[in-house]
Amino acid sequence: MKNKYLLAYSAIVIGILLVGQAVMSIETNNNDDLTDREKYLQKLESLPYFLEGTLLDGKAKIVETIDGKLPEFLDEGKCDMIISTAERIQIVEQAREEFIIKYGIDPYPPEEELTSAPSKDELKDYEHYECVDHIDVIEISRDDKSSKSYPHENGYGDMYLALFPAYDGASAPNNVNLLIAKVLAGWVRYDTFGITTGYTIYWNYWDCSDAGTDAYDQIDDFEDDYDSWGVNHPDYVVNMGLNKQSNHNGIALRGGFHCIVTEDCTGLIEHEKSIVSQHELTHCIGHIADDDCMWPWCHSGGQCVVNYWYMWTGTTTWCSSCYNQIDYYIWNW
């Protein structure tokens, strides 16, 4: 796969969805404490999931690739159908249009407005805060969890990201096209390590309904469910779950093969999702642990996407120390 096509796809989809997103009328709610967006989401939750009745509604296992061809690492018997990215976008957008006509509301809610990070001069005003935004990493024992080593390139400079959007109505992302475009935009930043970044999307595999909204429960559920699907990815594939809501922006298994990015983070600072994707993959691929707190003075390497405060400010680069560690694990195995 040529990465320029993936970059172009992400940019085009994000542009279309941001510009074209309609703000539909919302029924009033007696609870004046709710924001307009919360009222919007409450209205959506009372309606069927907009992808019901489509190929992506959970009834058949669908694998998506950019060109609709079976990936080399997947046995054909592990899915019911292969579709292309263009076909998926058409399915989702057609379902969206039909939903708007039927219910008078766009299934894509207004995006959460991101809070601007304080400047370094203003940080003294935040000294009384402790870790207000954890994107936690669960430590795992490689001996206990897997006989695999760690994510790395395949000997030809290729690595893949396998996305598993939750399909149950309570956990399925609302604006799934936009969330996918953003996490893929974070993934292609790993091209800087000299690898070719591919992707595969698995529809109707992950049922997240029994995991609730706790990130620890979700990552346990995702890893356990993955073992039951029989896809058996090689070491050059990292698995990422996508869901609607969690108490963290994302979560990852350090040095492992599983991570999650959530569409809506509850109760914590909302981070831009391409950056969350990039950050979580750093834990899997680079074995890098989170800083003990979120402020810039916690990260000795300086400006880096690993640090929460720098994520908050929109940083998409690594410090030299983290970069070198990721590069080492990609190429030395």
pLDDT tens digit sequence for 88-109: 999 999 999 999 999 999 999 8
pLDDT tops 80 at residue 245: yes
Confidence of residue 228 (pLDDT cuts 50, 70, 90): very high
**11-25, 101-115, 209-223, 271-285 — which is least confidently predicted?**
11-25
pLDDT tops 70 at residue 302: yes
pLDDT tens figures, 171-188: 999 999 999 999 999 999
**31-35, 108-112, 308-312 — which is least confidently predicted?**
31-35
- Say what the pTM is: 0.84
Confidence of residue 321 (pLDDT cuts 50, 70, 90): very high
Domain map of the chain by residue range?
Answer: 1-110+135-333
Confidence of residue 268 (pLDDT cuts 50, 70, 90): confident
pLDDT for position 292: 65
Where helices occur in 146-302 by DSSP H, the ranges are 176-187, 215-229, 273-286
**56-60, 99-103, 110-114 — which is least confidently predicted?**
110-114
Q: Which residues in 6-41 are b (16+ Cβ under 10 Å) and which e?
A: beebbeebbeebeeeeeebebeeeeeeeeeeeeebb
What is the Cβ-side half-sphere exposure of residue 48, based on CA atoms within 13 angstroms? 13
Query: Which is nearest to 314 in space by CA: 286, 274, 284, 282?
Result: 274
| CATH class of this structure's domain 1-110+135-333 | alpha beta
| 109, 17 contact by CB (below 8 A) | no
What is the share, in percent, of the chain residues with pLDDT greater than 70? 80
DSSP for 251-295, written as a single string: EEETTSSEEEEEEEESSS----HHHHHHHHHHHHHH-PPPPSSSS
* Distances in whole angstroms, Cα of residue 226 to Cα of each of 109, 163, 203: 29, 12, 13
DSSP code, position 118: P
What is the share, in percent, of the chain residues with pLDDT greater than 90? 60
Q: Which two tokens stand for residue 27?
A: 């029924």
What pairs with residue 250 in β-bridges?
A: 261
Residue range 251-272: mean pLDDT, rounded: 90
